């Protein structure tokens, strides 16, 4: 679920952007782009997104991993890294390829004329 923060300076603009985002998400159909399940308003406007097991990638990257040795063979610099979660090279490459497929869909396959703006979470 994605909802507007209570401490917004310009709530009206934020609500318009959320509704606009929901409209775009409703038209997107790609396995690497999250689906929207609904829109609503109780106290604040919100959108209901598809459930992702494990959560967002940013959340997964914050989780500690007990054994990183097998993932880091030959990558001594990464062993000394302060990154809390090490995915391993194969997983990193796979995730990067899947992200690239989703971005290609957004920028070429969905609508070449559309302006897609990427923001942080």
What would the pLDDT profile of 79-102 be if each residue is shown by its tens digit?
Answer: 455 554 566 788 888 989 998 999
Mean pLDDT score of the chain, rounded to an integer? 76
Q: Which band of pLDDT confidence, cut at 50, 70 and 90, is reported for residue 56?
A: confident
The pLDDT of residue 95: 86
Q: What is the separation of C-alpha 5 from the centre of its chain, rounded to a whole number of angstroms?
A: 18
The pLDDT of residue 72: 40
The residue-averaged pLDDT of 28-45 equals 89
Angle (CA) 114-116-119 rounded to 5° is: 170
The Cβ-side half-sphere exposure at 12, using a 13 Å CA radius, reads 0
């Amino acid at each position: 679920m994605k909802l507007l923060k209570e401490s917004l300076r310009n709530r009206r603009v934020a609500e318009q952007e959320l509704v606009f985002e929901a409209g775009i998400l409703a038209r997107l159909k790609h396995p690497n782009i999250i689906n929207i399940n609904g829109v609503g308003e109780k106290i604040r406007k919100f959108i209901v997104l598809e459930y992702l097991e494990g959560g967002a990638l940013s959340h997964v990257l914050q989780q500690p991993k007990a054994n990183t040795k097998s993932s880091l063979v030959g990558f001594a610099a990464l062993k000394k890294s302060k990154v809390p979660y090490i995915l391993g090279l194969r997983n990193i490459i796979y995730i990067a390829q899947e992200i690239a497929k989703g971005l290609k869909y957004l920028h070429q396959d969905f609508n070449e004329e559309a302006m897609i703006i990427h923001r942080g979470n």
